[in-house]
A and B are shown apart, each in its own frame.
Chain A
Amino acid sequence: MRLLIVEDDRMIGESLQRALRLEGYAVDWVRDAAAADGTLASERFDLVLLDLGLPSGAGAGGRVADGLDVLRAARARHDATPVIVLTARDARGDRVAGLDAGADDYLVKPFELDELNARIRAVVRRHAGRAEPLLSASGVTLDPAARRVTRNGIAVALSAREFAVLEALMAKPGAVLSRTQLEDRLYGWGEEIESNAISVYIHQLRRKLGSEFIRNARGVGYFVEP
């Protein structure tokens, strides 16, 4: 899963990026409103963590002045990417304004990393139209919170990247994801992508979960049977 952090504070941004990468997410980070606006307009993310108090950034020309403007601009483009607002503004009016501007959730700084992770999972789950926290298909069950996968009730050990590929495929069983789409969800900017990495992960997953579990749509991509 690919996340975008919009945060002007260097320390928070760095730590958050590192912590979320440890969770297995591909994490990108921008530091001002103009960059956030440009990035969201041109790239696809599974979720955005948005700070509200942002410097406007070079060349913004006053069009997007802070985080709320970034959010409003995205929603005005019919961009439905889930957004969790992370901010030090805790007044009720701010929370209401944030949610009404199109945020899916609101977390006040300083927050617990565990809570942030849970909220990320919840928002992604709701966004995918699911109520149950577990993903399952053809006897394989994936628990995003516990980061655990079982096959017919028996636990299967997966690496973080393997888990991320499987989670992407199982989020919408039957939907075909191309190699590039999978790479996008695995790697942030600046992370080196080995040319055959996805093939390797798919191979490992098939070895652990059965060769028929992940199907191949030739020339298009991979999917799991619903």
Chain B
Amino acid sequence: MTSIRVRLLVSLLALLALAAAVMGAVTYGNVLDETEALFDYQLQQMALSLRDQGEIAAEQADNFADAQLDFVVQIWTVDGRSIYQSRPHASLPARALLGLATLNVEGRAWRTYSVATGDRVIQIAQPVEIRQRLAARAAWRSVLPLLLMAPLAAIGIWWLAARNLAPLDRLAGEVRSRDEQSLAPLAVSGLPDEVSPLARALNALLERLRHSLDTQRAFVADAAHELRSPLTALKLQLELLRRAGNDAEREVARNAIGAGIDRATRLVEQLLALARSERGAAPVVMEKVDLAEVARRAVAETVPFATSRGVEFELAAPAPVFVTGDAVSLGLLVRNLADNATRYSPPGSRVEVGVAGAPGGALLRIDDAGPGIPETERQRVFDRFYRRAEGGESGSGLGMAIVRSVAAMHAATVALDRSPAGGLRVDVHFAPDRSLTSA
């Protein structure tokens, strides 16, 4: 039973039935009490009047004998001999109890009142069921209007429910008409208070979706745009190879094409790395990772490139530092930072990488002796495809975006500063992790 209308209808009808039952029971009880008092009084008065009267008049005896009359009058002598009985009645109590009494005779309940005079006992009896019948009739009369109202109430409830649920239908229709292109907010005005939270929650979801889609679109557009540069270079390099006049020129052109392909490959790899590290990408398993070991491996992978450029690396990670994270992504983060430091370092200089556990959280620090980044640009270097004018390096422009994205995934912050070594200092600060203790 999932329909609100059906549920409302059934529960309201059930309530109505319960109300009728309670009302009937209460009326029955009240009326029974009243008739009890009334009839008891009547029994008493009849008995007393017969006693005072001394004998039963003939006319009165006819009245008493009327089968329509509920009351049965019996008179006995003191020694128990029956001298009068208004109607022959097999199942009447044969012995009188003085005063009011309820007697059960052969399965039938009687209410009796007996009074004694000098030589006789007078008893007036009345079947209890008379009283019950009266009370039941009264109870039924009080319940009947409620029962007659039930079908009307059902129709009314059905109609009211439909009317009040109409905004929901409208909202559903509006949502149904949407596709991934039309993510404008739903109209909230005019909706009842109970429905507008739903519309507002949907609007918030639509907004997040739109933002996410916009980000994706911008990313794809940027990526396509960025891929044009290496492709342009490759095309030109191929033309140069075609036009090369001698072996030496051909060799130069071939090397250039090799470099061009390497560059395009690296760009695609970096794009994939960024896409994977961004929020909403494939879920990664966060586990206990030794940041010192991650840094050691990443630096080891960067050393050949650094050596080719005359740059030396020094890693200071004396003890394991555990963080909760994804080792592959963290490796990517360190690799990109080490790579950047290498690209911007002058030959003969040194890049220092340090990993330290601290009560405030693990810290990864990279210092280089390159040109550094002026304060005005420190925020912008995290933008995708942002390339600095200086340095003259044709990197992918994605390194720092990847770093930021991986850091965000690990709830870590990245801070850029001037390094004592003269160049750039990058601090990646991990939030303190209560579930782990650094050894």
Contacts and interface: CB of A to CB of B under 8 A. Distances in A.
Interface string A47-90: 00000000111100000000000000000000000000000110
A88 B392 CA distance: 19
Contact of B228 (A18, A57, A88, A112): A88
Given A8-B387, A31-B392, A55-B389, A15 B228 contact: no
A12 B240 contact: no
Given A8-B389, A57-B389, A109-B231, 10 more contacts: A9-B232, A10-B393, A11-B237, A11-B259, A12-B229, A15-B237, A18-B240, A19-B236, A110-B228, A112-B235
Contacts of A58: 389-390
Contacts of B231: 109-110
A175 interface: no
Nearest to A18: B240
Interface of A: 8-12, 14-16, 18-19, 22, 31-32, 55-58, 88-89, 109-113
Residue of B233, B243, B392 most packed against chain A (CB within 10 A): B233
B163 interface: no
B240 A10 contact: no
B389 A56 contact: yes
Nearest to A22: B243
Interface string B390-402: 1011100000000
Contacts of B260: 11
A22 B237 CA distance: 13
B240 A88 contact: no
Contact of B394 (A10, A15, A32, A56): A10
10 contacts: A9-B394, A12-B229, A12-B236, A15-B237, A18-B240, A19-B240, A55-B387, A89-B225, A110-B232, A113-B236
Nearest to A9: B229
B233 A113 contact: no
Contact of B240 (A15, A56, A110, A111): A15
A11 B389 contact: no
B223 to A, nearest CB: 11
A109 B228 contact: yes
Nearest to B230: A11
B32 to A, nearest CB: 91
Contacts of A88: 225-226, 228-229, 232
A85 to B, nearest CB: 14
Nearest to B252: A18
A19 B229 contact: no
Question: Majority SS of interface residues in chain A?
Answer: loop
B141 interface: no
B229 A15 contact: no
Contact of A32 (B230, B243, B389): B389
A19 B242 CA distance: 11
A109 B394 CA distance: 17
B256 interface: yes
A7 B236 CA distance: 14
A112 B242 CA distance: 13
Contacts of B232: 9, 12, 88, 109-111
**Which 4 residue pairs of A and B lie closest in terms of their CB atoms, listed nearest first?**
A55-B389, A15-B236, A11-B233, A88-B228
Nearest to A89: B225
B388 interface: yes
Contacts of B243: 19, 22
Nearest to B388: A55
Interface in B223-269: 225-226, 228-237, 239-240, 243, 256, 259-260, 263
Residue of A16, A31, A89 most packed against chain B (CB within 10 A): A16
Given A55-B388, A56-B389, A9 B239 contact: no
A111 B235 contact: yes
A218 to B, nearest CB: 39
A157 to B, nearest CB: 16
Contacts of B230: 11
B235 A110 contact: yes
A56 B237 CA distance: 27
A37 to B, nearest CB: 13
B225 A11 contact: no
Contacts of B237: 11, 15
Nearest to A87: B228
B191 to A, nearest CB: 39
Contacts of A110: 228, 231-232, 234-235
Given A19-B236, A19-B240, A109 B390 contact: no
Contacts of B394: 9-11
B256 A11 contact: yes
A55 to B, nearest CB: 3
A87 B226 CA distance: 11
A178 to B, nearest CB: 32
Nearest to B263: A11
A139 B235 CA distance: 39
